[in-house]
Amino acid sequence: MTDTLRFVSRWVAVRVESSRGASLVEYTLILSLIVLVALAGITAFGGTLNGSIDDSSNRIIVAGGG
């Protein structure tokens, strides 16, 4: 009986550890995908955003009398 209990407890422990590892891998893949999408967006719209920010700052300076 104790051998069966040990076997079951080890089996459950291995399953719990393996599911935690899978979750870590899944979260890492999701985070990597988010980073790639963010970098692609920054690359695609970076020049446009930079020009827009420069234009806005120049308009603020002019409006302020500077």
Q: Tell me what the mean pLDDT of segment 16-39 comes to.
A: 82
pTM (two decimals): 0.47
pLDDT band at residue 20, thresholds of 50, 70 and 90?
Answer: low
pLDDT band at residue 33, thresholds of 50, 70 and 90?
Answer: very high
Residues 66, 33: Cα–Cα separation, whole Å = 44
Q: What is the mean pLDDT of the chain?
A: 80
Q: Does position 36 have pLDDT exceeding 70, yes or no?
A: yes
Q: Tell me what the mean pLDDT of segment 13-36 comes to.
A: 79
